[in-house]
Amino acid sequence: MERVEEQKLRTMKQVLIALLTIIIISSCITKEYRYEIHGKVYIPTSGLHPMHDAIWLTDTINFNGDTIYYFNSDGSKVTIIPPYVLIDKSGM
């Protein structure tokens, strides 16, 4: 009887290890976005050099003249003014 219980426990451990391994491996898969935008952001508290490099990743973009904008999943609007470099990764 104890031997059967030990086998069940060993099998449960193996299933748990396999499940954890699958979760860890699947969590390493990254999301690929269609657009990558390189530009600058203004941070006024940065002293003498308030402009800093920035990269935005998104699947959708809109244009208002030469300004790019898109909406985050929370509904907030992101506006990116020139100069920027827009990379469309859909053809890669």
Q: Tell whether pTM > 0.75.
A: no
C-alpha span between 77 and 69 (Å, rounded): 7
| Alpha carbons 57 and 39: distance in angstroms, whole number | 12
CA distances from residue 4 to 9, 13, 14, 48 in whole angstroms, order as listed: 9, 14, 15, 72
- Phi and psi angles of residue 81, each rounded to the nearest 5 degrees, phi first: -95, 155
* Mean pLDDT, residues 13-29 taken together: 80
Does the pLDDT at position 37 exceed 90?
Answer: yes
Domain boundaries, the chain: 1-30, 35-91
- pLDDT level of residue 30 (50, 70, 90 thresholds): confident
* Average of per-residue pLDDT across 42-57: 89
Q: φ and ψ at 64, to 5 degrees?
A: -130, 90
